[in-house]
Amino acid sequence: MVGSGNIGTDLIAKLLRTPGLEPAALIGIDPDSEGLTWAAARDVVATADGVDWLRRHHDEVDLVMEATSAGAHRANATLYAELGLQCIDLTPAKLGPGCVPPVNLNVALDAPDINLISCGGQATIPVVAAVGAVTPVPYAEIVATIASKSAGPGTRASIDEFTVTTAGGVAEIGGAERSKAVIVLNPADPPVLMRNTVFCAVPADADHDKIVASIEEMQSRVAEYVPGYRLTAAPSFSSDVLRFPGWSSDVSLNRLAVSIEVEGAGDTLPTYAGNLDIITCAAVRLAQEIRAHRLQGAAA
């Protein structure tokens, strides 16, 4: 685990209780890091030597998880490739294929650098993909609202990358033809839970019942590994007639709105930090699938 901040520490907590996954080390750069102290107290190797530690110990590691910032991951990725280490990237650097576990797991299992898009992407792309499984989506827009207190230095340093990478994932993985992503840091006290709104343009004659059923089925799939992931209201359809360039003027489009809330598990983070919890849960789920894939390959 590279990055000893909030996300890295929470990942260690989740790995310690996940069968088949064992944290080899928590790697940071600050000897006084609270995360390194926390990990060391639980008999996890904790080092402030940065990624140089991997040069000496790469043969003890099967997988790297990067929880720093987009800029730091761009600098570190060359070393991981040199050492032949597969990496799950929790920053929005987007050097490798983007992955949202319940949507496109197959693209990630053998990729050397796997990108988890962003917390907002993990929360909203499944919904867009669920809509797209029923009907074309010419446009999708997501708004992720997180508690300001849950946004650490890595998150704040990567805001620009968040919007670009998340919007790209909504299109590339979610299947929307055009997309937009917005992140809001809410300074409210007490802090609010992570809330996400997904707006999709859908053909007016699309089957609403099938769309809702697809969204609800996807919500259940995400909740299997993120228990605090839930719809806050039934998906709603407006009768507004929308127009988009490239779509025939004979096609009427309506607006679909979906609201999602994410409550954290409270492992090492406050429960309001669902934005951090959903991406650490996604990383653990992906690591489990990579392990199963490697074991299957070894047995073949």
Annotated binding site for NAD(+): 4-7, 275
With contact defined as beta carbons under 8 Å apart, do 144 and 124 qualify? yes
With contact defined as beta carbons under 8 Å apart, do 165 and 218 qualify? no
Rounded CA separation 259/123 (Å): 10
Rounded CA separation 167/182 (Å): 8
Print burial letters for 190-217: b (CB count within 10 Å at least 16), e (below 16): ebbbbbbbbbbbbeeebebeebbebbee
Inter-CA distances, 239 with 100, 103, 242, 252, 260, Å = 31, 29, 9, 10, 22
With contact defined as beta carbons under 8 Å apart, do 24 and 13 qualify? no
Among the listed residues 87, 99, 119, 281, the single catalytic one is: 119
119 has catalytic annotation: yes
With contact defined as beta carbons under 8 Å apart, do 201 and 255 qualify? yes
Element (H, E) at 278: helix 274-299
Active site residue ranges: 119
